[in-house]
Chains A and B, each alone.
Chain A
């Protein structure tokens, strides 16, 4: 009989591994390299797209003047306030709808409607209701971040293994005990998926929200730059958005690592 060789590879010796966060940075590094190649060599002229040193210089000037920090702080405050409201209401509604049929009947259909409306179409209404200062901005961010957390958490609650719920009941857990020890922890993976979408939505909503009569924030910086035709500071703000987006992604990753350690048996430090 003809036998076929199963190719065996000697186990590779594991050298010191590059930490994953460093490897993750290789993507942005490639983008920077492309940027540098296109602008630094003059392929794209700097009136169309600024060079990296141009942007760095604008950034430095704005930091020296204190403008970038204060803009960042204003925007961050809006995002944090909006996220806090959005995540809290999304979570509470998901637990209410997830743990009883009646809750589902009342809440879920309502949330379906909210999801069906493009959030940003509500801007005119929010302005009429809430004026043009902070509240419509925070509300917009809250609306954009509530539903991803709601839907993913609600779905996860409904997918919690019924056998584990039975086991919890056999161990004498009451309704609240089941929610605390079985249903909520069991829906954490779904919540994290929702959180990831919500964070992305938060930055998106921020950009839209800051188009409403803004006297401070990154959006203000952006519209000022547009008025005076400064491509370099426009790009600077975009870079800041990108960094903020990456940081929030890293935050969710860190949260996943911590909250889902039971999945791989990671025991922490």
Chain B
């Protein structure tokens, strides 16, 4: 059965099947299986060194030395924690990188406006603040209209206030286009803001799956949210009693 047929069968935008990856003699991923449905926001958590980033790199195709099966759609975009804007290209040129078309100028402008960076098209990345850089990275990912959006701790380098602003922004752009998202984060509160599903990676496998059906926006003080928070943290090795 070919890949397109398999995707059609499951309807998923991401299928990871029994993926196994080791570095030297250390097994990092020991048969990871997960799927992301269209429009679903999945958050992947795990302790430092649990293989979250390794898994994301495999899905992104940046690392291919692994056993198992990974199925992704045609349009995949990724935003990194360190943004990775090319410092020698102005903001606009960074967003349009790798894209073609007559309407590209308009699309770039629209994508930047969406993340409230419309005035920065001609700015150099070196002149931007952390929050502004993260916005541009988000615009650069979203302009590709991905079916699958990979977020590798996209707000991990930001201060708490800026991070909250970015949560609002991501919520608004995500609900507009609804790509399937796989987000890696350390931040349980960030996970609770977005997740339809929280996966905890431990010992190389998905050790816990939490389906979150609490409606948005979620109040952290709500008992249901607090309970979930405690459950996930306990799996991550933080006991809060």
Contacts and interface: CB of A to CB of B under 8 A. Distances in A.
Given A167-B84, A171-B140, A262 B125 contact: yes
Contact of B126 (A170, A181, A264): A264
A182 B122 contact: no
Nearest to B75: A172
Contact of A170 (B62, B125, B127): B62
A122 to B, nearest CB: 37
Interface residues of B, number: 24
Contacts of A164: 84, 86
Contacts, number: 57
Interface string A216-245: 000000000000000000000000000000
A136 B161 CA distance: 67
Interface string A163-194: 11011111111000100011001101000000
A167 B84 CA distance: 6
A168 B122 contact: no
With a 10 A CB-CB cut-off, give which of A167, A169, A185, A267 has the most chain B CB atoms. A167
A52 to B, nearest CB: 45
Interface string B120-131: 001111110000
B240 to A, nearest CB: 35
A168 B77 CA distance: 11
B215 to A, nearest CB: 33
A14 interface: no
Given A163-B80, A170-B77, A267-B124, A262 B87 contact: yes
Contacts of A177: 98
Contacts of A181: 86, 89, 97
Nearest to B96: A171
Contact of B122 (A163, A170, A263, A267): A267
B153 interface: no
Interface in B45-93: 60-62, 76-78, 80, 82, 84, 86-90
7 contacts: A164-B86, A168-B98, A170-B60, A173-B98, A185-B86, A186-B88, A265-B127
Interface of B: 60-62, 76-78, 80, 82, 84, 86-90, 97-98, 122-127, 140, 144
Interface of A: 163-164, 166-173, 177, 181-182, 185-186, 188, 261-265, 267
Given A186-B88, A262-B87, A267-B122, 13 more contacts: A163-B82, A163-B84, A164-B86, A166-B84, A167-B86, A169-B61, A170-B60, A170-B77, A171-B140, A173-B97, A188-B88, A262-B88, A265-B126
